[in-house]
């Protein structure tokens, strides 16, 4: 499909990533349907949009007209059938669980128009794990955004062995239309580019914390002030969600059976306590005042 044929985008999942990907699409002029099975999550996403757009206008970053147009472009749904009916391009951003994603892809394949491309924003699952439950494997690929999706420029597009060149090209072109700087992976590889590199850093940071070498604050400070990263690995985990870190490590452990791949003791403790980072008000840091 040519990128110019993409008029309506469906984003499935209105969580951490989905609500911002939806708004990025709406701001770029696409009719955008954002669908989540949780009404609470949809309300949160709508509230975000209602405060984000006027905030950008007040800061002079967006015109009043552009804000109005974006708000008009974006609709929220709890019913996937309604949301999927006219989609040309789908970005799936539901919880990082393979069975759930497979189920969602099965439904999307049934509900979306035949020409629609189905992309997953999964952080780790390659799209061949999802393509095989659909009747349109050539139109399935990874399109991996970074958090916060409205800000971060990188998008990793992964062309699986099943993905047609046309689909990969459309995903790359769409990312550019969203104002992103996409990179194309010609092969599927667990963790893609960025998360493979980040995983090595995070793993070492957790080892240094778990063995009492330094505090989370000092490890973050060293990474920021010596390596020039905008934030350290612990603040980043708070932002992306410690529950996500837990699920990713568990998934890797299930795959490899290697105890080294189990989540670190600190991550397990925080996961069990429900201290998942910013989204729960507490992770490695506290977010009492939402800052
Ligand atoms: N958090 C990050 O920093 C980050 C970055 C890049 C990619 N990702 C990926 O994006 C995806 C979403 O991550 P997130 O952090 O936004 O998770 P999240 O937990 O914040 O949001 C997931 C959303 O999916 C919804 N959901 C679950 N089942 C659903 C269904 N059947 N239909 C519709 N909605 C459903 C949940 O209600 C929830 O709102 C994951 O695949 C993750 O790996 C996350």
Can you tell me the distance from the alpha carbon of 65 to that of 253, in angstroms, rounded to the nearest whole number?
Answer: 49
- Domain membership of residue 291 (yes or no) is no
> Where a domain ends, among 162, 185, 208?
185
> Where a domain ends, among 160, 185, 210?
185
CATH of the domain at 213: 1.10.1040.10
- Domain membership of residue 42 (yes or no) is yes
Q: What is the mean pLDDT of residues 153-170?
A: 98
Q: What is the pLDDT of residue 290?
A: 52
Residues 145 and 251 in one domain: no
Residues 59 and 133 in one domain: yes
Residues 226 and 267 in one domain: yes
| pLDDT tens figures, 17-55 | 999 999 999 999 999 999 999 999 999 999 999 999 999
Can you tell me the distance from the alpha carbon of 189 to that of 160, in angstroms, rounded to the nearest whole number?
Answer: 9
Residues 114 and 166 in one domain: yes
| Cβ atoms of 245 and 263 closer than 8 Å | yes
Can you tell me the distance from the alpha carbon of 119 to that of 90, in angstroms, rounded to the nearest whole number?
Answer: 6
Residues 170 and 94 in one domain: yes
Q: Check residues 127 and 289 and name the one with the higher pLDDT.
A: 127
State the average pLDDT for the chain.
96
Residues 204 and 140 in one domain: no
> Where a domain ends, among 185, 216, 249?
185
Residue 122's CB is within 10 A of a number of other CB atoms, namely 23
Q: What is the pLDDT of residue 251?
A: 86
Domain span at residue 206 reads 199-280
| pLDDT tens figures, 71-95 | 999 999 999 999 999 999 999 999 9
CA 64 – ligand 1 centroid, Å: 30
Ligand 1 interacting residues, C-beta cut-off 6 A? 12-18, 35-38, 41, 93-96, 100, 104, 121-123, 144-147, 240-241, 244
Residue 291 has pLDDT above 80, yes or no: no
* Active-site choice (96, 156, 188, 275): 156
Q: Which one-letter DSSP state was computed for residue 95?
A: -
Q: Which of 83, 191, 244, 279 to mutate to test the pocket of ligand 1 (most atoms within 8 A of CB)?
A: 244
| Cβ atoms of 139 and 118 closer than 8 Å | yes
By DSSP bridging, strand 140-145 and strand 154-158 are: antiparallel
pTM of the predicted model as reported, rounded to 2 decimal places: 0.87
Ligand 1 atom closest to 241 (CA): 1
Concerning whether 86 is annotated as a catalytic residue, the answer is no
Concerning whether 215 is annotated as a catalytic residue, the answer is no
Residues 141 and 268 in one domain: no
Residues 154 and 253 in one domain: no
pLDDT tier at 255, thresholds 50, 70, 90: confident
Q: What is the pLDDT of residue 289?
A: 64
| pLDDT tens figures, 178-211 | 999 999 999 999 889 998 899 899 999 999 999 9
Ligand 1 atom closest to 248 (CA): 43
Q: Which one-letter DSSP state was computed for residue 264?
A: P
CATH of the domain at 62: 3.40.50.720
Residues 211 and 139 in one domain: no
């Amino acid at each position: 499909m040519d990128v110019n044929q993409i008029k309506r985008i469906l984003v499935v999942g209105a969580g951490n990533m989905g609500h911002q990907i939806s708004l990025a699409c709406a701001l770029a002029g696409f009719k955008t349907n954002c669908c989540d099975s949780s009404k609470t999550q949809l309300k949160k996403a709508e509230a975000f949009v209602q405060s984000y757009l006027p905030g950008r206008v007040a800061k002079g970053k967006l015109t009043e007209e552009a804000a109005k147009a974006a708000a008009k472009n974006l609709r929220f749904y709890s019913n996937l059938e309604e949301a999927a009916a006219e989609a040309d391009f789908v970005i799936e951003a539901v919880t990082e669980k393979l069975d759930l994603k497979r189920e969602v892809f099965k439904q999307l394949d049934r509900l979306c128009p035949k020409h629609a491309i189905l992309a997953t924003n999964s952080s780790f699952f390659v799209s061949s794990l999802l393509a095989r439950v659909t009747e349109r494997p050539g139109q399935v690929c990874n399109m991996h955004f970074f958090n916060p999706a409205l800000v971060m420029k990188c998008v990793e597009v992964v062309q699986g062995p099943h993905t047609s060149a046309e689909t990969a090209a459309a995903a790359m072109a769409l990312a550019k239309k969203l104002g992103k700087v996409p990179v194309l992976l010609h092969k599927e590889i667990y963790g893609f580019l960025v998360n493979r590199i980040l995983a090595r850093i995070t793993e070492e940071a957790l080892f240094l914390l778990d063995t009492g070498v330094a505090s989370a604050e000092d490890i973050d400070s060293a990474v920021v002030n010596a390596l020039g990263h905008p934030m350290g690995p612990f603040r980043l985990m708070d932002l992306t969600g410690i529950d996500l870190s837990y699920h990713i490590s568990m998934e890797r452990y299930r795959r490899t059976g290697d105890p080294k791949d189990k989540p670190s003791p600190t991550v397990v403790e925080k996961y069990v306590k429900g201290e998942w980072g910013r989204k729960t008000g507490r992770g490695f840091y506290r977010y009492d005042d939402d800052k």
